[in-house]
Structure 1
Amino acid sequence: MILSIGSRLRSAVCDAEVVVVRSSGGEVDLRCGGRPMIAIDATAPPDAAPEPGFADGVLLGKRYVGAGGRFELLCTKAGAGSLAEAEEPLGIKDAKPLPSSD
């Protein structure tokens, strides 16, 4: 799937939803719970569940980044599945340190 900024996606196996905040525009195999993510308005399979090893959860309000910083996602709804690019788990983006007020 090609990610475009502002795209809303959801998991096919849990309640997780994300918004694409930054993207290089290349092809990405984005998954949640081990299954490919789907468009926000697509219908998910009724009895799908996260695969073993991909059930660490997604945290509301956290930003997740792909390998090399090629894309960034903002979690808008938490879920039980974990985000990954193919088999590689996505990392949570660290907050920028505030300048010293000395």
Structure 2
Amino acid sequence: MIKNGTRLQSQVCDTQVIVVKAAESLDDLRCGGQPMVAVGSSTSGDVAPDPDFAGGTAMGKRYVDDGGAEVLVTKAGTGSLSVGVIALVIKEAKPLPASD
């Protein structure tokens, strides 16, 4: 199982992430439709991203799934993050309390 602090990279683009909150769902974490690998792992480089998962990632944004998993993008890329075929969504910022 993937643990908090694990650094992963895409096989199809420049995207890199750090796991902030681990969950079992991250065992199938993908970018561009392809499984993510540990940073520093060799990638084939000739794998093309799935057009359905080519929406890109934004640097510094946290992406979450319904299972409580959360990853932080440390390097943006052209592939979209997903768990299996279910796309991750950008975590919304918590609104600050009003200062009267």
TM tier relative to shorter chain: over 0.9
**2:16 & 2:45 partners in 1: Cα distance?**
17
Aligned counterparts, 1:1-102, within 5 A: 2-24=1-23, 26=24, 28-69=27-68, 71-102=69-100
Amino acid at match of 1:97: P
Unpaired segments ≥5 residues, structure 1: none
Q: What is the aligned residue count?
A: 99
TM-score (norm 1): 0.92
Post-superposition Cα deviations, 1:38-93, rounded to whole Å, max 9, x if no partner, equal 00010111222211101000100000002232x10000000000000000000110
Unpaired segments ≥5 residues, structure 2: none
Amino acid at match of 1:22: K
Q: Which runs of 4+ in 1 moved over 3 A?
A: none
TM-score (norm 2): 0.94
**1:23 & 1:46 partners in 2: Cα distance?**
27
**2:71 & 2:60 partners in 1: Cα distance?**
10
Identity %: 53
Post-superposition Cα deviations, 1:16-45, rounded to whole Å, max 9, x if no partner, equal 000000113x25211000000000010111
Contact 2:5 2:19 in 1 (8 A): yes
Instruction: Return the structure number with greater helix share.
Output: 2
CA RMSD of aligned residues (A): 1.0
